[in-house]
Amino acid sequence: MPRYRTRAMRRKEFALLLDALSQLGLHQLKQVTEQATRLAGYQEAQALIAQRIEHTAACPHCSGTSFCRWGFTHAKEQRYRCRDCGKSFTGLTGTALCHIHDKRQLLANAQCMKDRLSVRAAAKQLGVHRNTAFRWRHLLMPSLERHQPAALEGVAEADEAFFRRSFKGCKRGMPRPAYRRATRARQRGISAEQIPVLTALCRGSRHSFIAVLPPLPNTASVSTALGPLVKPDTVLCADSAGLYKSLGKKLGITVWQIPSGSHRQGANHIQNVNALHSRIRGWFHPFKGVATKYLGKYLAWFRFFDHSPHPAKASRFLLDAIGVPT
């Protein structure tokens, strides 16, 4: 199995290079630091990409397992050649990231996403146009949507959070006139202006189920979302909303409803899901609003880093995006 290798400079030449640094001015030192950081990130990203080759251990074209190193691409990526079909490939072939030209920034881009930088802030940090930063972000996000829990077992909690419908970034074809920032909703309470997001999680777990529902949630939309997840012995704790009254009968499960104005009823409560909503609100804050068409992707992005009290590293995020289980 070919492994990723880096060539290090000889010790004598490296000592000369370090010595030469003392002759540089402040501006030149900053330039060297920036370049060194970029190259270190690139080498680290290359090592991560090589893990995908080790994981798949097969040609992405024919699934043949016999391949060898075959030089480097123009972007200095390690190229491989399949001995079965004769086609060449890299560690990113077949992933959404394979068409990114500047692969030196892959890890830095993942770090910007971990730090929840806005598109403009990420563009400034990466030294690229904001449209490029936007595109790179959206190439990474679809892979995150597959991390929904497979089932809700035991005692689970469910509730909806509401996000105001947003046409952020929409230049034409809006169904209503554009609002100025921070304009209040026209209708109070739940309306078609508010997009419901159904959240659910098992007691004692942070692996949350998050789904964007059509406006004005009802028993049908919630049962469609939760139906494939619940088991006959699932006990669902929910608030006093009317839709949960018929949900238990429709799904064949026990539903405990917390009366309005109470925090808990005996051992039943929805404090974990309320805490989840609080984390979601805090997490969305730096973005100053998210377009409704991207809401599901941003929630999947939140869920990936919220899965553990210790957020995943950028390297793990990148590995996940290229399909390496972590």
Positions touching Zn ion (CB under 5 A) are 59, 61-62, 64, 82, 84-85
Residue 42 and residue 93: Cα distance in Å, rounded? Answer: 17
Which C-beta is closer to Zn ion: that of 52 or that of 116?
Answer: 52
Name which of 70 and 284 has its Cβ closer to Zn ion: 70
Minimum CB separation from Zn ion for residue 81, in Å? 9
Q: Which is nearer to Zn ion, 81 or 313 (CB)?
A: 81
As given in the structure block, the two tokens for residue 272 are 């974990």
Q: Nearest distance from residue 89's CB to Zn ion, in Å? A: 8
Tokens coding 168: 């952020």
Residue that the structure tokens 């491989």 belong to: 80
CB of 139 to Zn ion, least distance (A): 25
Shortest gap between Cβ of 30 and Zn ion (angstroms)? 45
Q: Residue 80 or residue 317: which is nearer to Zn ion going by CB?
A: 80
Q: State the nearest-atom distance from the C-beta of 83 to Zn ion, in Å.
A: 8
The minimum distance between CB 84 and Zn ion, in angstroms, equals 5
Q: Shortest Cβ distance from residue 68 to Zn ion (Å)?
A: 12
AA letter at 158: A
Per residue, the 3-state secondary structure of 178-209, as one string, reads CCCCCCCCCCCCCCCCEEEEEEEEECCCCCCE
CB 292 within 8 A of CB 214: no
Nearest distance from residue 66's CB to Zn ion, in Å? 9
Q: Which CB, 68 or 267, lies closer to Zn ion?
A: 68
Q: Which is nearer to Zn ion, 67 or 256 (CB)?
A: 67
Return the number of the residue (85 or 139) whose C-beta is nearest Zn ion.
85
Of 118, 55, 107, 45, the closest CA to residue 77 belongs to: 45
CB of 67 to Zn ion, least distance (A): 7
Give 78 or 257: the residue with its C-beta nearer to Zn ion: 78
Select 84 or 153, whichever has its Cβ closest to Zn ion. 84
